[in-house]
Amino acid sequence: MLRRLRELMAEPVTAQERLDKIVKTIASNMVAEVCSIYVLRGDSRLELFATEGLKREAVHKSSLELGEGLVGTIAEEAEPLNLPNAQAHPAFAYLPETGEEIYHSFLGVPVLRGGQTLGVLVVQNRTQRTYSEEEVEALQTTAMVLAEIIAGDELDALVEPGENLALRRPQHLAGRILSEGIGLGHAVLHEPRLVVTSLIAEDVDTELVRLDAALDQLRTSVENLLTRSDILRAGEHREVLEAYRMFAYDQGWAARIREAVQTGLTAEAAVEKVQNDTRARMLRQTDPYLRDRLHDLDDLANRLLRTLVGFDHIDEAEMPKDAILIARNMGPAELLDYDSGGLRALVLEEGTPTSHVTIVARALGIATVGQVEGILDLVNPGDAIIVDGLSGEVHVRPPSDVEFAYVEKVRFRARRQEQYRKLRDKPATTRDGTPIAMLVNAGLLVDLPHVAEAGAAGIGLFRTELQFMVAETFPRMREQQMLYRSVLDAAGDLPVTFRSLDVGGDKVLPYMRSTQEENPALGWRAIRMALDRPGLLRTQIRALLHAAAGGDMRLMFPMITDVSEFDRARAMVEREKRHLERHGHALPDQILLGTMVEVPALLWQLEELVERVDFLSIGSNDLLQFLFAADRANAQVADRFDALSSGPLRALRDIVVTADAHDVPVTLCGELASDPLSAMALLGIGYRSISMAPAAVGPVKAMVRSLDVGALQSWLIPELAKPRSGLRKDLIAFAEDHDVQL
């Protein structure tokens, strides 16, 4: 039957003729008096597209709601129904126009693709009997072939005007705003869905040999994963890998794949079939643990498929100019692999506001929405997509009216951006005359034009690690020097504060070996790694000294936990300075050294710290993460605590008060400064220098120029002393009452 279906799929006939021949072939091979194909439309109705045995005039006339009748039940539950007497089933719905009342035995299976139900395939007989397991398996295999036909565009011609198939119906999904903006374009999958093109086996024995070899290779790769030291560092967990191993060695899983091969499928088609069946069941599980394991099973099955068919990754040269990148999650270096000029937006199934890929997306000005559940299953490459990074909405295959509304929204946003651009050359001074230093965060040369475009007062944080993360080998001193010189040249007279190499944790350098850690964010990273491997930091310091010769060098050290660590880092700078002097090299006119305040332990060493440093920078992302003991990359806890509550604001207030008392400049350079409301709170507790994503400068400057910071401070600081928690609603109310532009 599968060979005959392959021939039918290749015949030069119309879509309807092909379906008619398919149902006739299935009925003949299964000795069934009826074979019918129902296809799920975009309006959630299952339309009869073809039949052998029922009345032909019912084709494209009869339909059932999702959940209605036996066919609707199969589609809704994604489970087969095998009934000796269909009319006795409580879900049976009689459709008189089909003439099916004379048939009793009924076997229906869902047509699945990627866990989605696309339709239902049914066979029926007059006699009352239960179909055998082999017949159920054969019909499920046939439904898999049918899914590829439905997934193509051939059946679109059979749909009534104004209707569309469920696979191509518009989808409106909700997620979380990670980077503001609006992107209109077409979908590009970061890890393209593996497409099985060879479905029907020429030689079953050969396919079984291929499958066994691929399974052996899969199991070996899983064992290798368990022994690799970089797994935990990359964010994986031991129990996930144990689940991989469990699935890889599960004999029932392997046996189901072998059985599918023995029905006539290729090895890769058999893997996809079993994966579809399993995913459809698991997607309907309410147990969160089982739903989480779905990701494990997907990854495992995809590994096996890659072994069998190869992995065809996205060709950057073929990306559309209006690409909307879709991924489960990704690292910052992976995002940087793409040409940012062609990226309109990023959509993640996971992702949090302070994850590093989000920070890079903001720096590049890419609209980003995260925590969009199921996006990878609902999108096909090339689908039209609208990403609303202002509301957290994602529209897949949007209707024309929605698309038109967003075109108008983009035009309105462009007009608003033009208003922000008009503020570029105006001073960042509050309504009551307080000047605010508005700086930007950067890490790439592509960021630098945004400094002047935004009207920023300088670069408050240049993340030097991004150069290391996108390089294939460790950048040599000369390469580092050229980058730092380019940054200083581009900034001109504006100040630039470089942060020394901040890697480790979730920022992994592929060419650097590291040790396995259970808690990488709390482990061997940033200044800890640099002090243990002084050659890395010394090379970077020397490159910066060369690059800043004749000007100012501002360097801060991340993850300082004890003042003695700053002393050691400062001693390394002095050593490199003396080395260059001895060899006659020019030096910077001024060298300013500071530290990031992002480890809570420093809050009780501020007095000792401010006596040593030239400036302080607050890394609010890590500081809040550690204060709340909440992993900023973990979507389950990232929203659990509010930065605009009394606890963190009191801590931030203590830092600025201590720094001011010793005339030490302090800048908050975390993502907290990029939100106008949060930036307003920072000004209210005493900050006068903030550094943010370039795209945030306009909105934050508009807030600054409309704010009476004296009035805010008079209200807010006493409020911090009260026994209360959240202040967000009160801050919003203050802004509304005082006409502050947020």
Which residues does residue 188 pair with via DSSP β-bridges, in sequence order? 325
Nearest 5 degrees, angle CA 356-CA 360-CA 365?
A: 145
Nearest-angstrom CA–CA distance, 467 and 482: 11
Q: Which of 190, 356, 395, 546 is catalytic?
A: 356
Give me the DSSP letters along 117-171: EEEEEEEEESS--PPPHHHHHHHHHHHHHHHHHHHSSGGGGGSPTT--BGGGS-E
Question: What amino acid is encoded at 238 in this protein?
Answer: R
Sheet holding 116-125, edge to edge: 63-65, 45-52, 34-40, 116-125, 105-113, 81-83
Q: Are 393 and 371 in contact (CB under 8 A)?
A: no
Nearest-angstrom CA–CA distance, 66 and 438: 55
Q: At what angle do helices 133-151 and 251-262 cross, to 10 degrees?
A: 80
Q: Is 231 exposed, middle or buried (0-12, 13-18, 19+ CB in 10 A)?
A: middle
Nearest-angstrom CA–CA distance, 547 and 542: 9
Q: Are 612 and 563 in contact (CB under 8 A)?
A: yes
Nearest-angstrom CA–CA distance, 227 and 252: 26
Sheet holding 171-174, edge to edge: 171-174, 393-396, 384-388, 182-189, 323-327, 343-348, 367-370, 176-179
Instruction: Give the DSSP letter of residue 685.
Output: T
Give me the DSSP letters along 589-658: SEEEEEEEE-SGGGGGSHHHHHTT-SEEEE-HHHHHHHHHT--TT-HHHHTTS-TTBHHHHHHHHHHHHH
SS (H, E, C) 355-387: CHHHHHHHHHCCEEEECCCCHHHHCCCCCEEEE
Nearest-angstrom CA–CA distance, 440 and 453: 11
Nearest-angstrom CA–CA distance, 173 and 665: 44
Which token pair is 86? 């269909």
Residue 386 phi/psi, 5-degree rounding, is -120, 125
Q: Which of 104, 395, 450, 669 is catalytic?
A: 669
Length of the chain: 742
Say which residue the tokens 């089933």 belong to: 89
35 is an active site residue: no
Active site residues: 356, 669
